[in-house]
Every structure is written in structure tokens, then in C-alpha cells.
């Protein structure tokens, strides 16, 4: 596939390109498709970290189109991992639903970075939605004894059936998407009224909601910059 200006920019900023090979494909309910892929040298070259994501390149009517996806259960020994696609109308969903074992797709690794603070936080406050749920799970996998309070925004009831790896000492709040995300912002900001110094605040949802919640944490509560990790996973407006 002929690359566009985005690919040139990513390469200039250190982006590394890999070819993924589809091994298995299965539906998850009627709104998602999960693919098992062989990442080639991707994991061995780039390593693995919680919330790790890559950019996939799709053919959109002859034009290259890139979208970011979180790695699910990456295995360094085999080089394999899963990718989960929401079945919206678009080139990514069309590719995911028609992909068969042996099919390949190009991927770029650039921009994904995360490490847990040292010392490790005693408490996690995580805000996400269906798009960032794999990243939430990856944080819970490495949280150790730290407890977590989790807000997950959902657009329909089917999203509440997606796997969430909560532990007995975690607390999850499912928040229906209302008022273009303002309902999630209100739920989180109403609950978070004081600063916990040994906590990590991680926010990854729709862009406007992410900005509003981070503004509340940083300016409203005075949470230190080093305690807040945020990334807008998609944009509604």
C-alpha cells in the first residue's frame, strides 16, 4: 500500500513498521471481532508495556488510513497478540470481519509508552470505555496489591459483557453514555473530590471527556502531573 504523509511523519519521529499475519478470527457478541495475529518481530523489537498500542494501516478506497488499537494479551515468547475491533461502518471493521488466516496488514509502532510510577501506586483511578477497556485490563494485570476504582462508559448493554479483569478488591462503576459524554464527566468529577498522594489517575476515553476530567484533576484538585496519565482514544465532536 502506498503510504501517505502521515506515514512519513511517523517514520520521521521514529516509527517502526512491521507486518502482522492473521492466525485466527472470531466474533465477540454481534458488535466486535477478535483477531489473533503473529506480530513477527514487533514484540521482540519493541518490548511490551501496559496499555501498549499500535497503528494499523487500512486500504480506504485506494487511500491509506491508519487507526490505533491496543494489544490484548501480548506474548513475548510467541510474538502473538489479539486485537479487538468494534464493528462500526468503516474500512477497519470491513477488514476485520473479512480477514482470514494468512492475511497480512501493516502496523507502525510510534507514540505508545507507559511505565508504572516508582514506587508503585497504592491506588488506581481508571476512567475508560469499550475502546480503552483492553488497556484497563493490562493495568489491572500489573497493579499488584494496589486496589482500583474504575469507571467504564458504555454505549449499549452489549459492552457491559466485554471482559473486565477486576479483582475482589477493585470497584467498577458502569456509566451509560449520555449527553455526549457529560454524564461520565459528572460521575467521575463528583466522586473524585480530594487528592490521594500515592494514587495513579489514568484517563482514556472520548477526547472532550478526557480533557474535562484531566482539567478537574490537575486544576480543580491539584493532582501532580506525574500522577496523571491521559490519552484521548477517539473524538465525537
DSSP per-residue string spanning 83-125 = EEEE--SSHHHHHHHH--TT-EEEEEE-S------SSPPSEEE
* Residue-wise pLDDT tens digits, 18-62: 999 999 999 998 899 999 999 999 999 999 999 999 999 999 998
If you average pLDDT over residues 146-169, what whole number do you get? 94
Strand partners, 148: 124
**Residue 33 backbone dihedrals phi, psi, to 5 degrees:** -130, 130
Please report the pLDDT score of residue 196 as a whole number. 93
pLDDT above 60: residue 1: no
**Residue 73 backbone dihedrals phi, psi, to 5 degrees:** 50, 55
Count Cβ neighbours within 10 Å for each residue of 96-115 and write b for 16 or more, e otherwise: beebeeeeebbbbbbebebe
* Residue-wise pLDDT tens digits, 106-134: 999 998 999 888 889 999 999 999 999 99
- The span from the CA of 119 to the CA of 125, in Å, is 16
pLDDT above 80: residue 6: no
Of the pLDDT bands very low, low, confident and very high (cuts 50, 70, 90), residue 4 is low
> Could you give the percent of the chain with pLDDT greater than 90?
83
What domains does the chain contain, in order, with CATH numbers? Answer: 5-109 (2.40.30.10), 123-230 (3.40.50.80)
Of the pLDDT bands very low, low, confident and very high (cuts 50, 70, 90), residue 88 is confident
HSE of 195, CA atoms in CB hemisphere, 13 A? 14
Amino acid at each position: 500500500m502506498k503510504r501517505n504523509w502521515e506515514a512519513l511523519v511517523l517514520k520521521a519521529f521514529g516509527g517502526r513498521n512491521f507486518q502482522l499475519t492473521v492466525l485466527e478470527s472470531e466474533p465477540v457478541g454481534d458488535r466486535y471481532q477478535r483477531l489473533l495475529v503473529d506480530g513477527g518481530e514487533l514484540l521482540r523489537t519493541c518490548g511490551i508495556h501496559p496499555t501498549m498500542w499500535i497503528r494499523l494501516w487500512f486500504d480506504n478506497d485506494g487511500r491509506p488510513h491508519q487507526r490505533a488499537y491496543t494489544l490484548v494479551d501480548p506474548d513475548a515468547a510467541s510474538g502473538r497478540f489479539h486485537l479487538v475491533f468494534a464493528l462500526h461502518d468503516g474500512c477497519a471493521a470491513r477488514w476485520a470481519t473479512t480477514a482470514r488466516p494468512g492475511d497480512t496488514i501493516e502496523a507502525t509502532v510510534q507514540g505508545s509508552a507507559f511505565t508504572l510510577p516508582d514506587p508503585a501506586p497504592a491506588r488506581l483511578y481508571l476512567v475508560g470505555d469499550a475502546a480503552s477497556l483492553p488497556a484497563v485490563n493490562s493495568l489491572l494485570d500489573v497493579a499488584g496489591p494496589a486496589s482500583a476504582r474504575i469507571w467504564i462508559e458504555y454505549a449499549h448493554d452489549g459492552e457491559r459483557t466485554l471482559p473486565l479483569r477486576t479483582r475482589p478488591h477493585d470497584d467498577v462503576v458502569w456509566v451509560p453514555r449520555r449527553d455526549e459524554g457529560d454524564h461520565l464527566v459528572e460521575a467521575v468529577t463528583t466522586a473524585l473530590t480530594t487528592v490521594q498522594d500515592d494514587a495513579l489517575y489514568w484517563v482514556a476515553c472520548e477526547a472532550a471527556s478526557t480533557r474535562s476530567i484531566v482539567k478537574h484533576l490537575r486544576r480543580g484538585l491539584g493532582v501532580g502531573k506525574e500522577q496523571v496519565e491521559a490519552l484521548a482514544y477517539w473524538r465525537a465532536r
